[in-house]
Structure 1
Amino acid sequence: MEGYGRMENVAKGDAGIGVVYSPMIWSDVEAITRQFDETWGHYAPFGNDKKLSMLLSYHFVLHYIEPATRGEIAHKNGQFMGVVLSRVVGQPVMFGNVAQEMAKIDERLNSTPAGHRALADLELGFEIERRMERQTDINDKAPAEVELFLVSSASRGHGVGGQLWSRTMDYFERSHAPAFYLHTDSDCDVSFYDRHGMKRIAEREEQRHPDDGRDPQMAPSKMYIYAGVPGRVKQTVA
């Protein structure tokens, strides 16, 4: 998948006129990171430190890209509108250079006390997610995962979220994945997953785990795992 060329699909229907869906290429990482930071990058302990916020967002995005076997971007007139990163067990990852890029970002984060503290908290959060996976045995039940589902405010009214979602379900079905899952938290609109036929199979409330050591100013109040069957979930998309 690495490269600069694109194979594009133009959306059909009035709401989606002019929206183009393309396989992700490496140069999309910058736009994904900017949107991620705009959506979720307001880390309370660091006030207005935009540079640190962007580095943390870049780490998050690379974390989601590293295992991904598919990425699809929505854009219109050159403007980023959304992305889904997903993976299916046994399929090749999109990019082989993510670990090296993440090491560079982590070195920059660890160069300051605030960055070091933030990175340690992020890594603890990812470990908690892995614990939740082990507790539910979800990786034994679902060979597919949505790593990142992100749409911009500019995408509203264009059906971008629904299109990206439906196309990802098509990918899972083509890959013969009987089930999939995703991680999310109370900072996201989890009602989207409820409306689209997914089941909440795990819930973790931060205040009930004070001994885990997470920074309460960074940690979401609740963390969830949702799971679903691709064909059934796709039927709920208008």
Structure 2
Amino acid sequence: MAQIDAELTFRAFDEKDFEPLAGLVGRTWLADFPVAAQRAAGRVELSHYLAQATWSLLAEREGELLGAVLLVERDSEPIPGAWLALEERLAAEAEKDPELAEAIRVEMSGVEEEAELEREYAATGAPGTAATIKLLIVSPDAKGLGIGGRLFSAAVERVRKTGAPGYHLLTDDACDVGFYEHKGLSCAMRRRSRAYWPGADPATDDFHVYVYEQEL
């Protein structure tokens, strides 16, 4: 059931939310690319995350999507939908356009590097491996509304209620890691990035990816 607070509504993801959420992902993380390339990469990345996600919460105001969080819980069923097949189809279609294909390559290279680091973290068996906050995103139009904090807190509460011993997330130097430290997480792993990130050259820039964790 949706929760309503003033003008804000919080509810679970629905398939009709795919395009607006993919657009938000593209605008947020590929701002230097043309709109069509942003959307193409956002759709592929979102499909990739949805194929793993087991729980979701979206924030909207008067029908406008303002933020979302996706959670992956160990031994839980993913959100219904043929998301992996969609990811593969969208990536294949984008290969016909070099500009779209480049945007996807750039974005997914970072996603793949984070996945590699996450696999190393999973092998440790730490309490935080029980769940992953896979996506936390807030529209620039929603700054100052506290949406990011509320989505994050809702995801943590969900993990707590399942009885999981902890959770983790992947992040990088482009994000405000101080937000997570303020929420009580600590850095479990740190690696100098070998991927190409917009605005950072792996050959010359000191750019890092991280695993942050919290035991519950």
> Do the structures match in fold with TM over 0.5?
yes
Within 5 Å, which residues of 2 pair with 1:33-44? 33-43=22-32
Q: How big is the shift at 1:10?
A: 1.4
Q: What's the secondary structure of 2:125's corresponding residue?
A: helix
Q: Deviations over 1:158-179 (max 9, x none)?
A: 2222221121111101111111
Q: Structure 2 vs 1, CA of residues 180 and 216 (structure 1 numbering), >3 Å: closer, same or farther?
A: closer
Q: What's the secondary structure of 1:67's corresponding residue?
A: coil
**Contact residue 110 and residue 196 of structure 2 kept, 8 A:** no
Q: How big is the shift at 1:120?
A: 4.2
Q: Note the aligned Cα RMSD (angstroms).
A: 2.2
Q: What residue number does 2:204 align with? A: none
Q: Which has the larger radius of gyration?
A: 1
User: How many correspondences in the alignment?
Assistant: 209
Q: What residue number does 1:148 align with? A: 135
| Identity %, equivalent residues | 22
Q: What residue number does 1:98 align with? A: 83
Q: Structure 2 vs 1, CA of residues 117 and 38 (structure 1 numbering), >3 Å: closer, same or farther?
A: closer
The runs of at least 4 aligned residues of structure 1 exceeding 6 Å deviation read: none
Q: What's the secondary structure of 1:56's corresponding residue?
A: helix
Q: Structure 2 vs 1, CA of residues 80 and 113 (structure 1 numbering), >3 Å: closer, same or farther?
A: closer
Where structure 2 has 5 or more consecutive residues not aligned to the other structure, the ranges are: 202-206
Q: How big is the shift at 1:196?
A: 0.7
**Contact residue 69 and residue 134 of structure 2 kept, 8 A:** yes
Q: Which amino acid aligns with 2:81?
A: G
Q: How big is the shift at 1:122?
A: 4.3
Of residues 155, 159, 167 in structure 2, which corresponds to 1:180? 167
Larger deviation, residues 90-99 vs 114-123: 114-123
Q: Tell me the TM-score normalised to structure 1 length.
A: 0.78
Equivalents in 1 of 2:36, 2:144: separation in Å? 32
Q: How big is the shift at 1:194?
A: 1.3
Equivalents in 2 of 1:95, 1:219: separation in Å? 36
Q: How big is the shift at 1:138?
A: 5.7
Q: How big is the shift at 1:31?
A: 1.5
Q: How big is the shift at 1:118?
A: 4.4
**Contact residue 88 and residue 175 of structure 1 kept, 8 A:** no
Matched, 1:157 2:144: yes
Q: How big is the shift at 1:108?
A: 1.8
Q: How big is the shift at 1:112?
A: 3.0
Where structure 1 has 5 or more consecutive residues not aligned to the other structure, the ranges are: 1-6, 12-16, 231-238
Q: What residue number does 1:71 align with? A: 56
Equivalents in 2 of 1:135, 1:162: separation in Å? 28
Larger deviation, residues 65-74 vs 117-126: 117-126
Q: How big is the shift at 1:53?
A: 2.1
Equivalents in 2 of 1:195, 1:227: separation in Å? 12
Q: Deviations over 1:31-69 (max 9, x none)?
A: 2112112211124xxxx5321221011111111111000
Q: What's the secondary structure of 1:140's corresponding residue?
A: coil
Equivalents in 2 of 1:201, 1:224: separation in Å? 7
Q: What residue number does 1:224 align with? A: 210
Equivalents in 2 of 1:79, 1:217: separation in Å? 27
Q: Tell me the TM-score normalised to structure 2 length.
A: 0.86
**Contact residue 110 and residue 119 of structure 1 kept, 8 A:** no
Equivalents in 1 of 2:182, 2:136: separation in Å? 15
Q: Structure 2 vs 1, CA of residues 95 and 167 (structure 1 numbering), >3 Å: closer, same or farther?
A: same
